């Protein structure tokens, strides 16, 4: 078996085991393979092994890879999106854009989606810790942003995403993941948005994220190896 198929199998087994340990149904947790900085041939190995959900963080890279890979692939944008790339971003027909972090960006996406005649699925990125990732809204800004989102007819807000501060110890991310879930519960109750999706957890902390309620883990290194 090739290395990437083997890695995928190991990651899927980890997800399965993490679900068993906290009594969750493994079908509730999707695996997004983060293929950024990996070439098309490498990514194709994952697709051939049945991994159809791919995450990228740069539009330019997606534009190169999309024509080379099968139509069954679902692309997700997980990296910061600049307003001047919004037209291309909508054009890529991402299954979901995980990194929406301002009202300005949200309205720009809504306008462009309307012009291209599509409804774009999005997640709102929250910086729960106030440190770590420099992107993401403050928790207090979530409800106002959802009130704005309610006016965006060409966007579908599916949930929340976070990147906790980097730490050697995966357990250190636990409180941040829990904070995102609590914030979701509270915002869903207050606004009526179901916010079903919680995109959280990466290679080193996916088990902790699953325990705290992740519905999608974003895994790069443990599938494709380290990045240069
Ligand atoms: C690169 C990246 C990942 C994957 O991280 P790994 O540690 O390689 O699994 C997940 N989420 C985001 C937003 C990323 O940029």
pLDDT in tens, 64-102: 999 999 789 999 999 999 999 999 999 999 999 999 999
CA dihedral 46, 47, 49, 50 (to 10 degrees): 130
* Ligand 1 contact, 218 CB (< 6 A): yes
Asked whether 221 lines ligand 1 (CB < 6 A), one says: yes
- What is the number of structural domains in the chain? 1
Give distance in angstroms: CA of 202 to centre of ligand 1: 6
Across the chain, mean pLDDT equals: 96
Closest CA to 220 of 53, 41, 90: 53
Q: How many Å lie between the centroid of ligand 1 and the Cα of residue 215?
A: 16
Residue pLDDT, tens place only, 146-190: 999 999 999 999 999 999 999 999 999 999 999 999 999 999 999
The upper half-sphere exposure of residue 51, i.e. CA atoms within 13 Å in the direction of its Cβ, equals 29
Distances (CA, A) of 103 to 6, 137, 146, 215: 41, 10, 9, 25
Of 3-7, 19-23, 127-131, 212-216, the poorest mean pLDDT is in 127-131
Q: Give the whole-angstrom CA distance, residue 204 versus residue 51.
A: 19
From ligand 1's centre to the CA of 144, what distance in Å?
Answer: 28
Domain housing 139? 3-224
Percentage with pLDDT > 70 across the chain: 99
Say yes or no to pLDDT of 217 above 90. Answer: yes
Percentage above 90 pLDDT, the chain: 95
Is the confidence at residue 132, as pLDDT, over 80?
no
Q: Which of 53, 56, 77, 78 to mutate to test the pocket of ligand 1 (most atoms within 8 A of CB)?
A: 78
Cα–Cα distance between 19 and 209 in angstroms, integer? 10
Q: Is 81 in the pocket of ligand 1 (CB under 6 A)?
A: no
Does residue 57's CB lie within 6 angstroms of at least one atom of ligand 1? yes
- The finding on whether 211 has its CB within 6 A of some atom of ligand 1 is no
Predicted local distance difference test score (pLDDT) of residue 133: 67
Of 87, 35, 86, give the one whose Cα is nearest residue 64: 35
What's the CATH code of the domain at 77? 3.20.20.10
Whether residue 58 is predicted with pLDDT greater than 70 in this model: the reply is yes
Mutation pick for ligand 1 pocket among 164, 220, 221 (CB with most ligand atoms within 8 Å): 220
Long-range contacts of 85-90 (CB under 8 A, 24+ apart): 85/59, 86/112, 87/112, 88/59, 88/63, 89/59, 90/116, 90/118, 90/120
Closest CA to 82 of 57, 62, 116, 118: 57
Residue with tokens 């979530």: 142
Cβ of 65 less than 6 Å from ligand 1? no
Is the pTM value of this prediction over 0.85? Answer: yes
């Amino acid at each position: 078996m090739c290395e990437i198929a083997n890695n995928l199998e190991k990651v899927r087994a980890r997800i399965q085991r993490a679900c068993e340990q906290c009594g969750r149904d493994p079908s509730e947790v999707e695996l997004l393979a983060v293929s950024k900085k990996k070439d098309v041939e490498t990514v194709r190995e994952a697709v051939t092994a049945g991994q159809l959900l791919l995450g990228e963080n740069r539009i330019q890279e997606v534009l190169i890879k999309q024509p080379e890979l099968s139509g069954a692939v679902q692309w997700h944008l997980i990296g910061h999106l600049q307003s001047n790339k919004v037209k291309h971003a909508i054009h890529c027909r991402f299954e979901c854009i995980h990194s929406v972090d301002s009202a300005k960006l949200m309205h720009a996406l809504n306008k462009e989606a309307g012009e291209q005649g599509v409804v774009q699925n999005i997640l709102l990125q929250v910086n729960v810790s106030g440190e770590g990732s420099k992107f993401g809204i403050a928790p207090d800004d979530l409800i106002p942003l959802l009130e704005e989102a309610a006016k965006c007819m060409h966007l579908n807000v599916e949930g929340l995403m976070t990147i906790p501060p980097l730490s050697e110890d995966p357990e250190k991310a636990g409180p941040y993941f829990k904070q995102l879930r609590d914030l979701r519960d509270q915002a869903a109750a207050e606004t009526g948005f179901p916010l079903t999706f919680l995109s959280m957890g990466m290679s080193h902390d996916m088990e902790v994220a699953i325990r705290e309620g992740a519905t999608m883990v974003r895994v790069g290194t443990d599938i494709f190896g380290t990045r240069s």
